[in-house]
Copies of this chain bind each other. A is one copy, B any other.
Amino acid sequence: MALAHSLLAALALGPASGYDLSKVFDSGMSDFWRASSQQIYTELHKLDDRGLIEGTLQQQSNRPQKRVYVLTDAGRTALHEFTRTAPRRPVIRDEMMVKLYAVDSADVEAVIEDLSARAAEAHSRVQQLRQLVAIFRADKSHEEFLSSGGPIGPYLTCLLGIAHELDNAKVCAWIAEVLRAREDGSDEPPPRDPINFGI
């Protein structure tokens, strides 16, 4: 049921439409929780029925009408309660890692390409997240921002997203190199471990 709580968390920062929320799960939050617009619209109706949020139709000039939701007191309480409950183990399902696990029976070239592509995607995602961070922070330093009184949740989540993607990029690029060196069968020295596992 944490999709519901993600929506409450986003609405705790201010009123938003389903369309607005679908972009949250596509930008700052997308490294840790993703949701399709279909899921969001359906879940918003349920939350409204349960009285945790309240939606009102708004006419717009130049744009289709939209339904803007605000958190109710009950919703705010439910969100606070959620933050007091132990989080469940994260769900991760990464097909690329399944491909890597199967690399000995695999089309190795294809696996190397996937790893390289993943590393490249991670880099562009980092660029995107850095821009988001800059927008959050405006002209403030990290320290100033943290003590400035505004909401810091989305900012911190964003920083963790950057860390996650940087790590992703680093390890994928490294494994791609390791596999490439092995494919080439050359006597070049194998790529150095950039992570420091103690290998």
Contacts and interface: CB of A to CB of B under 8 A. Distances in A.
A86 B118 CA distance: 11
A186 to B, nearest CB: 11
A9 B95 contact: no
A190 B90 contact: no
B104 A153 contact: yes
Given A80-B107, A156-B178, A160-B175, A12 B102 contact: yes
A83 interface: yes
A90 B76 CA distance: 31
Contacts of A33: 92-94, 97-98
Interface residues of A, number: 74
A84 interface: yes
Contacts of A95: 2, 5, 87-88, 90
Given A163-B195, A171-B160, A6 B153 contact: no
A5 B92 contact: no
User: Ordered nearest first, which 6 A-B pairs have the shortest CB separation?
Assistant: A32-B97, A83-B106, A9-B102, A87-B95, A90-B94, A87-B96
Interface in A155-171: 156-157, 159-160, 162-164, 166-167, 170-171
B91 A91 contact: yes
Contacts of A31: 92, 97
A34 interface: yes
A83 to B, nearest CB: 4
Contacts of A8: 102
Given A94-B32, A199-B142, A99 B80 contact: no
A28 B84 CA distance: 31
Contacts of A130: 197-198
